[in-house]
A and B are shown apart, each in its own frame.
Chain A
Amino acid sequence: MTGFIQTKIVFTGCVGAGKTTAITTISEKAPVSTEVKPSEASVIKRKATTTVAMDYGELSLEGGGVLYLYGTPGQRRFDFMSDILTKGALGLIVLIDNTHENPLDEMDYYLNLNYRFLLKNPAVIGITHYDETMQPSVDDYYSALAERGDPWPVIHVDARSLEDVRLLLNTLLAILEYG
């Protein structure tokens, strides 16, 4: 990470985890979203529409800079987008829907998918829908991360809450500074 012209943060994670919502919550401009009816059977069950290319939002910074916020598509057939979107990013927010059938497997999947990026860049795990079910618990996520040898923080969040999305981003910044 040299030069620091990179000013984007990427939100990734499973379908329905709240990537589009999180970006909409924090973005100061109406975010660009490429939502269409899903085609994958597993996604149809979970959502009426889903992102096919990417979500995009932004936050203007003092001095004219811009922090770009990208959200990856949830459908697996668009996984190739992750590599493209994470190129030059400051870090990754991995959102996991806790009501998913196998949320720990989902986390594992997205960490593996972004393995190369995470060798040099940090991630924060955001658990959504935690108010609907506390199983697996935050402890379970930490155990799964420990097995992988990953040090990332786990935070249960509501993607509709500005405060919660700020917390995710602030935590990522803290790791960039001290982690």
Chain B
Amino acid sequence: MIVSHLTIRLVDFSESETEYFSAILSLAEARLQQTWSIVTTENADFFVLTEKHLKESLLPGIPVTRCFFYDSGSTADNNHILVDHTKIPRLRSLVEVLNKAVGSQPPETAETAETAETAETAETAETAETAEVGHIDKVPEDVNEISDVPPSQQAAYIRIEASPPATSEEEAIGPAVFSPEHGLLKAVLDCKSVPVLIRVNDVGVYLDPVKGSYYCPLTLEQLIPCFDRDPIRIKPITQPELRQVVSNTKLSPKPLSNLIWYAAFKASQGRLLLGTSPEDVVHLIRWPDLGLPGCGNYVKLAAFMHSNTVKLSDIPSATQYPVEAVYDFYNACHLVGLIEKAAAIELHEKQIDLEHQNLLRKIRNRLKF
């Protein structure tokens, strides 16, 4: 189920804590795959609670599967931090946690949830959390998890429910939605503040997220196997170290947005990005780099999406591109910030007479050889 708007209730938060949370949520908005709003009503799609609620099973009317818990006493740092001990959320964490929550656990409607509420215990949640941490444990020991939160402040963390087990259908054909959760693509999307060296097997990619550049001797096509392959190793480096590497290797900077665009384009495989509905009304606010490998085949699609604000589901029939191709293109553009969602459709249909159409077709055919 894809929804476009989710609500979150902050349980036992003071007014100022709620204000803080709301402010960070606003900052995170651009990177969230769903629209989130804080509500004070009893029913909400998700809840943020202190761990005392978990320990004491104080979850009146709230299924544990829809709760975020934080623990101000824990020192574990492998989990995603949602709020610190002062209940102030961390921007990066909020984006990861909320996006992940939607991806792993599409919310039931409040009514359904209440009806379905069962005797899920704290133990259930603990087991789920272990499964999530288990994924992280697979990463080699020398991995340095990038975090924008100083270690001294990493006392509080959120427990994330593990993804539900795959259905037999999903096992057969793969997940129906595209979620960049693996390999180089995830690493690149996650690294936002400091230069890092990302290693996928024997491939090394230097990232300078501040300057929006990456350095790698391989072409984008050569990097394809790394896009969604785990495990990855991420090592933070300093700017002087990066400069030294660049100087020694004579590598030229390449636009990071091109790496993200192409990785998402190849990894999507016809699936729509998590958090997007085919019914979403979208607009391409700027052209992607049409010189990227394969992107040149999408100029008509780009022109259409740049000139019109339309439902995603209407684009294939309007442009004659297969729906899978539209999704691949959309996902890639979305992840580099070229897509804007809108409330209303705006079509600017060109009135092209038959003669004109024929001429364009003839020129296009001529350019094919």
- Chain A residues lying within 8 Å of B243, measured Cβ to Cβ, are none
Closest residue of chain A to B305 (Cβ to Cβ) is A178
| B291→A178 contact, CB < 8 A | no
Select from chain B the residue with minimum beta-carbon distance to A163.
B296
8 Å CB interface, B341-358 against A: 350, 352-353, 355-357
Instruction: Say whether A134 contacts B253, CB under 8 Å.
Output: yes
Residues from chain A with Cβ under 8 Å of B289 in the complex: 138, 155-156
Give every chain B residue within 8 A of A61 (Cβ-Cβ).
359, 362-363, 365-366
Q: Cα distance A132–B357 when bound, in Å?
A: 39
Interface of B is mostly: helix
Q: Is A167 a contact of B356 with CB atoms below 8 Å?
A: no
Within 8 A of B (CB), among A52-100: 59-63, 65, 67
Known: A134-B253, A142-B286, A153-B287. A170 touches B364 (CB 8 A): yes
If A63-B362, A169-B363 touch, whether A177 touches B291 (CB-CB below 8 Å) is no
B224 in the interface (beta carbon within 8 A): no
Contact of B300 among A2, A60, A174 (CB under 8 A): A174
> Is B304 close to A, CB under 8 A?
yes
Contact with B along A12-38 (1 / 0, CB 8 A): 000000000000000000000000000
Sort chain A's interface into a size bin. Answer: 35 or more
Bound form: Cα–Cα A70–B308 in Å:
31
Interface flag for A137 (CB, 8 Å)? yes
Within 8 A of B (CB), among A96-154: 134, 137-139, 142, 151, 153-154
A151 to B303 Cα, complex, angstroms:
10
Indicate the member of B290, B352, B365 with the most A CB atoms within 10 Å.
B290
Identity of the chain A residue whose Cβ is nearest the Cβ of B362 in the assembled complex: A61
Does B296 contact A167, Cβ atoms closer than 8 Å? Answer: yes
B355–A178 CB distance below 8 A: no
Q: Is B7 part of the binding interface, using a Cβ–Cβ cutoff of 8 Å?
A: no
With CB as the reference atom, state the residue of chain A lying closest to B213.
Answer: A134
List A contacts of B364 (CB < 8 A).
Answer: 170, 173
Contact of A178 with B366 at beta-carbon distance under 8 Å, contacts A157-B291, A164-B291 already known: no
Q: Which residue in A3, A7, A155, A179 is a CB contact (below 8 Å) of B290?
A: A155
Asked whether A44 is an interface residue with its Cβ less than 8 Å from the other chain, the reply is no
How far, in angstroms, from A60 to B360 measured CA to CA in the complex?
13
User: Chain A contacts of B350 at CB under 8 A?
Assistant: 177-179
Chain B residue nearest in CB terms to A162: B367
Do residues B287 and A60 form an inter-chain contact, with CB atoms below 8 A? no
Q: Residue among B287, B289, B307, B355 with the most chain A CB within 10 A?
A: B287
Closest partner residue, chain B, to A154 (CB atom) = B287
**Considering only CB atoms, which chain A residue lies closest to B298 in the complex?**
A174
Residues of A close to B291: CB separation below 8 A: 155-157, 164, 167
Assuming A4-B355, A65-B359, A177-B303, is B290 touching A171 (CB within 8 A)? yes
B106 within 8 A of A: no
Q: Decide if A176 is an interface residue (CB 8 Å cutoff).
A: yes
Shortest Cβ gap from B257 to chain A (Å): 8
Query: Residue A46 at the B interface, CB < 8 A?
Result: no
Q: Which of B230-262 contact A (CB under 8 A)?
A: 252-253, 255
> Cβ of A41 < 8 Å from any Cβ of B?
no
Tell me if A137 and B299 are in contact (CB < 8 A).
no
User: What is the CA–CA distance of A156 and B295 in the complex, to the nearest angstrom?
Assistant: 13
Q: How far is the CB of A177 from chain B (nearest CB, A)?
A: 6
Chain B 313-369 residues near chain A, CB threshold 8 A: 319, 350, 352-353, 355-357, 359-360, 362-367
Residues of A within 8 A of B286 (CB): 142
Decide if B306 is an interface residue (CB 8 Å cutoff). yes
Q: Give the one of A137, A142, A169, A174 with max B CB within 10 A.
A: A174
B302 interfacial by beta-carbon distance below 8 Å: yes
Which single member of A142, A154, A164, A171 contacts B299 (CB below 8 Å)?
A171
Closest CB-CB distance, B333 to chain A, in whole Å?
13
Q: Is the CB of A65 within 8 A of B362?
A: yes
| Residues of the B chain whose Cβ atoms lie less than 8 Å from the Cβ of A156 | 289, 291
A166 to B364, CA, bound (A): 9
Q: Which residue of B lies closest to A61 (CB)?
A: B362
Cα A61 to Cα B287 with chains together (Å) = 29
Question: Within the complex, which residue of A60, A153, A154, A170 is in contact with B367, where a contact is CB–CB below 8 Å?
Answer: A170
- A7-B363, A170-B367 known; 17 new pairs, CB 8 Å cut-off, are A59-B366, A61-B363, A61-B366, A138-B255, A138-B289, A139-B255, A151-B306, A153-B302, A156-B289, A167-B296, A167-B299, A177-B350, A177-B357, A177-B360, A178-B300, A178-B306, A178-B350
Q: List 12 A-B contacts (CB under 8 A).
A: A62-B365, A65-B362, A154-B287, A166-B367, A171-B290, A171-B303, A173-B363, A173-B364, A175-B303, A177-B352, A178-B306, A179-B350
Q: Which A residues contact B (CB, under 8 angstroms)?
A: 1-4, 7, 59-63, 65, 67, 134, 137-139, 142, 151, 153-157, 163-164, 166-167, 169-171, 173-179
**Would you list the 5 A-B pairs with minimal beta carbon distance, nearest first?**
A174-B303, A153-B287, A178-B303, A61-B362, A174-B299
